[in-house]
Each structure stands twice: as C-alpha cells, then as structure tokens.
Amino acid sequence: AQSVTQLGSHVSVSEGALVLLRCNYSSSVPPYLFWYVQYPNQGLQLLLKYTSAATLVKGINGFEAEFKKSETSFHLTKPSAHMSDAAEYFCAVSRAGTASKLTFGTGTRLQVTL
C-alpha cells in the first residue's frame, strides 16, 4: 500500500518569500510522485512529476521538488512567492509500472500576503 502525508493544511508566506510545501510518502516499491495545483472550483493541474530520473525536478511556474529516498520526502519549493501562487497544492503517489492510479495527500492551502 502507498500513502502520502502533507504536513500543514495551511501555509502563509509573504510575497517574494520562499515557498516550502512538505510531502512525505510511503511506498513498498519505487514510487512515482506528483505535485498538482488546484485553483478554486477548478480541476487539478500538474506542476511537476518524479519518475525515477533526476532527483531534482523542475516544474511549471518556477516550482521545483527534490526526491529524497532516505527521507521519503518530495517537498515542493519556489524561491519567491507571487500572489498568483495562492491555491491548494496536492502531493500524489502512484506505483511505478501500473496505471496512474494516484493516492493523494489531503492538500496544503497556500496563502500569499503583501
């Protein structure tokens, strides 16, 4: 079985500050890991994915995440927050070699203040 834990249901940062959203996973086999973003009343948009290639993954909108097997983590970062980054962010895991049946974390709502 696989699972995802997102630490912090709400994170608030000032515009221009570092964004750090935490994700830890549990998987008995090599995982595929994803970060999605959701704006209010919208579907989910893929930010980035890890599929066992480079451990540092760059995504859209200046986000990146680093896969750390020893820490079972896949934290999402962005050097400088923008007001448009305010949204809900979901970390998800799927099992390599299977259909993309994702297990999601409970989400982190990012607030960006002036």
Partner 1 sequence: DGGITQSPKYLFRKEGQNVTLSCEQNLNHDAMYWYRQDPGQGLRLIYYSQIVNDFQKGDIAEGYSVSREKKESFPLTVTSAQKNPTAFYLCASSEGANTEAFFGQGTRLTVV
Q: Does 106 bind partner 1 (CB under 8 A)?
A: yes
Pairing of strands 56-58, 19-26: unpaired
Q: Does 100 bind partner 1 (CB under 8 A)?
A: yes
Give yes or no for a contact between 76 and 63, defined as CB atoms under 8 angstroms apart.
Answer: yes
How far does the chain reach from its first CA to its final CA, in angstroms?
A: 42
How many CA atoms, within 13 angstroms, populate the side-chain half-sphere of residue 6? 25
CB of 80 to partner 1, least distance (A): 26
Q: Which residue has the tokens 């890890």?
A: 50
CB of 21 to partner 1, least distance (A): 14
Window contacting partner 1 (CB under 8 A); options: 15-23, 36-44, 57-65, 66-74:
36-44
Window contacting partner 1 (CB under 8 A); options: 12-20, 21-29, 65-73, 97-105:
97-105
**Binding to partner 1 (CB under 8 A): which residues in 40-69?**
41-46, 49, 51
